[in-house]
Amino acid sequence: MTLEEIEAFVASLGKEKYRARQIMKWIYQQGASSFEEMTNLSKEVRTVMAKEARIGNLEIVRTETSGDGTKKILFRLEDGLLIESVLIPGASHWTLCVSTQAGCRMGCAFCFTARSGFSRNLRPAEIVDQIVQAKFRTEEGPGINNLVLMGMGEPLDNYDNVLKAIAIINSDYGLSLSPRKITLSTCGLAPGIERLGRESAVNLAVSLNAPDDRRRNELMPINRKYPLAALIQACKSYPMPRRRRITFEYILIAGVNDSPADAKLLVKTFGGLRCKFNLIAFNEFPGCPFKAPDPRAIEAFQKVLVDHRFTAVLRQSRGKDILAACGQLSGRHRAETTGSEEVKKIGG
């Protein structure tokens, strides 16, 4: 609930409106998981709140740590579905990558999440609570100062819930995280991008992955609905204060989209747009026909972009060994009861 909703709720119980700010501070700034802990509320208010309301707490099933320090947190939702968040280490802080849906219905050909199918949208509470749990129930929590909506799911396919979650995350009484510290990544739902530009101030990242419609249609079915021209038009409409740019994520797949000619096509298509490219080598996963590119191909691709004055950063994929890297999240876990290596499907 937003501050205004909690205010209306406590008022409906006959209590003072300012209690809402106290409650939010306890949950988001002190990590309280029950009303009983809220000692500046009178005993009577605590009792009424505990009777009429409930503080959701996602269950942390397990945390896995990669050789490179990346941590994947597996959460169980109240209906038993599993979702994942990823903590990514930086030089002096942590970035948290959260999920917005249980599964995904966008069907990108290179994505492990897509294989699990789609179960349902996450509610605002389930999006926000991934951050609350990471912040207060992991060692790294105090060091989190960047948030990316890039985990399982397509955020703009769950627009209203995601926007409400962002409002709570931004709120001074909520997690108090500035929109400049938040990046939303989309596969290219053009109308959603335009709406987001009008209704929020978060950074925009677009998962691009192909230099033309023919290949993008094959890799990302959403392109058949919103082809590159529509996507670029939506990106152009996205408000960008000074020094901000749209990030295009480009997963390089051997022999599919990684040639210097493909890079030249990007230069031609995206010249004139305030943007930068994040290049990511494809992360292979079991049963996937695509291969990781040769390091020399990555270098040659990057050189074309840089030579044409684009910023093109090669992102080291983190957490590959625990399937926490880009496109590898699945909400699956290994069957613990048998101890086998078989992957057991939980949701969707």
Binding footprint of ligand SF4 on the chain (CB under 6 A): 104, 106-108, 111, 113-114, 152-154, 187, 207, 327
Q: Which is nearer to ligand SF4, 37 or 218 (CB)?
A: 218
Structure tokens at 177: 């995280």
Please report how close the Cβ of residue 251 comes to ligand SF4 at its closest, in angstroms: 9
Please report how close the Cβ of residue 104 comes to ligand SF4 at its closest, in angstroms: 3
84 catalytic per annotation: yes
Please report how close the Cβ of residue 7 comes to ligand SF4 at its closest, in angstroms: 35
Catalytic-role residue among 84, 126, 154, 249: 84
Please report how close the Cβ of residue 288 comes to ligand SF4 at its closest, in angstroms: 12
Please report how close the Cβ of residue 39 comes to ligand SF4 at its closest, in angstroms: 42
What is the spatial distance between Cα 205 and Cα 220, in angstroms, rounded to a whole number? 16
Please report how close the Cβ of residue 186 comes to ligand SF4 at its closest, in angstroms: 8
CB atoms within 10 A of CB 67: 10
Q: Could you tell me which residues are beta bridge partners of residue 333?
A: 344
* Residue found by looking up tokens 């409409």 in the block: 237
Q: Is the dihedral of CA 49, 52, 53, 54 positive or negative?
A: positive
Catalytic-role residue among 104, 108, 187, 326: 326
Q: Do 216 and 223 form a contact (C-beta atoms < 8 A)?
A: yes
> Of 118, 108, 147, which Cα lies nearest the Cα of 282?
108
Structure tokens at 141: 């929590």
Residues sharing a CB contact under 8 Å with residue 317, sequence separation 6 or more, in sequence order = 280, 281, 283, 325, 326
4 catalytic per annotation: no
CB atoms within 10 A of CB 37: 14
Q: Which is nearer to ligand SF4, 55 or 111 (CB)?
A: 111
Provide the residue type at 141 as one letter: G
Q: Do 61 and 331 form a contact (C-beta atoms < 8 A)?
A: no
What is the spatial distance between Cα 117 and Cα 29, in angstroms, rounded to a whole number? 35
Provide the residue type at 167 as one letter: A
Cα separation values, 12 from 2, 15, 229, 230, Å = 15, 7, 49, 46
Please report how close the Cβ of residue 150 comes to ligand SF4 at its closest, in angstroms: 8
Provide the residue type at 118 as one letter: F
* Residue found by looking up tokens 């995350």 in the block: 169
Q: Do 113 and 330 form a contact (C-beta atoms < 8 A)?
A: yes
Which residues have a catalytic role annotated?
84, 326
